[in-house]
Structure 1
């Protein structure tokens, strides 16, 4: 009998096959796109991010809501950006707060438009988008006045140490340029963008990034963005993550099962319930985006999952809304809305969930869903087990 590949590998292989067959497609030209800032940020990232076999492939955080808030509202806004934990500079901000972050050499919050990145934490590549090119240049000037020096043979690139270097004697937990472990970084400006990476090669690659190699040139990512425009219509996208099918193929969490202790009846009941839930999961998808959104005073979540046709996308949207209702509706009440979004020859399942209560600058609804995915306790993105 031939060896069967793991579910994640099979689903990812299908996605890559579809990509090679469909080629590249430009993003829709629509000035009112909810994803305008997200598209601009992802255009700074390489298509290689999509081909990583990670559940979370790329991240985006809008920094303006933090800059525009003050006092306790700003503290809430910082806590809200949970996806920032995957990007070292923003992880430092979440750890110490805006004042200590600024004192440790971070750029002024008012100058930062958004931050995006990709790669394996704790050392992914981060791209800051500043107010303009002058603001980006000012950041590099400030770094060079500190402990950053020009990199020989790399015009315009600075570093504060050797590639991948960790030096605990230089640790600065509040600093976006050092962090808890005293890491060294390489930086360069590209117009209004600042590229930050643990070595010179990723920085050089993004400086020379051509259109076919951009993340936004990928037809599956474009379809996911088009679907998110539908799901997030009329809302502000505060943070978002590009996800692969791997997010839905985690399977059962052994720790959660063993948490039932020695009571076999309880253990059996938990296992059967988990299996039944998995059987009702979403159909396998090619790519997706999960976003924390704000509609007026109400926070919420917008999801886009890419499929080959709208019939399957419609089924997926209904199942995703059902999974959220079952897992979280009594904890963080809200209203779910489902739709489909054609994109070229593809189609996205578009799901919008808006919290019932206004929550200031926090979003407990998105946080619950994200924690459910990370902990594998309540993953609403689980792919139906019948497809495994």
Structure 2
């Protein structure tokens, strides 16, 4: 039995978003296991007259027994007639997966917060977006609005990559992530690498008989930590995180294999950093590129505070095909609270988000009023060219 997500008819708008966010948080949708969330959203949208497509996405690695997941694409009846080969003019997007572990919602009215996995990343955002979109429906202004909610943003972005096969060509893409209700001017790029070191195993009492795979890998990692990486005034410094280390099979044996997984947050194209990595590591380890994308310049609207994002989003993986398309990134909540054991969203900010999502969507549906801080062609070019084929690196 799938969870029922619904706001009560008697609820005020401010209360409705609280109840909807709470319901969404209480649906477990860890990356790779988003099935219940997709079906619950489908039910909520169909009940309100949306046409809904569940787009299959192949099973996530390690979740093969669960089978396919689904992206949720929704639009108002008649949109396909008005823009038959392009889909809706405005596409509202976020992701339906969360990082582990799952824990349910707690509405703390005394402190004005909702806690729980996904509270800000991104179940609260979904609630605000859904209610804002529905307000436009009720005022008769949502005919050219589409909703796209995808799986696996937190892992491999396979949901957004798969969504490209829907052949949507929006003029405006509005993505929800926790940005403290600021419009993001630009987001850092990403370079994820695996370093693989090879040795010869032997008894640790006689190290001359073998070769440790761990020793040269550790030395290479130390050199990478000491290396100088690019920085600029807009996005700050390139950062390196050594996230995973594996190697060896016993404390009293030299390791035959060792590996490390690294993530760089980029302010330059990934090729520049990769060149330095390969030169620094030398022959001490093989360098394998897992994924890479460039920094992305985004559009902003007048009237909203702006910032930059040091985190990666699905924007880098969506193909904005219209030559003058614009992409926007904004949502309630703080990325500093995401992925933590205290994840939360402030209730007043969540309630305000319904109104500003409605206002932004209306401006985009009518065409942005006032100038943007990034010209459309520049933003579209940056987004469209942002995903790097790892095989070419």
Same fold per superposition (TM over 0.5)? no
Which has the larger share of helix?
1
- TM-score, length of structure 1 as denominator length: 0.25
- TM-score, length of structure 2 as denominator length: 0.25
Which has the larger share of strand?
2
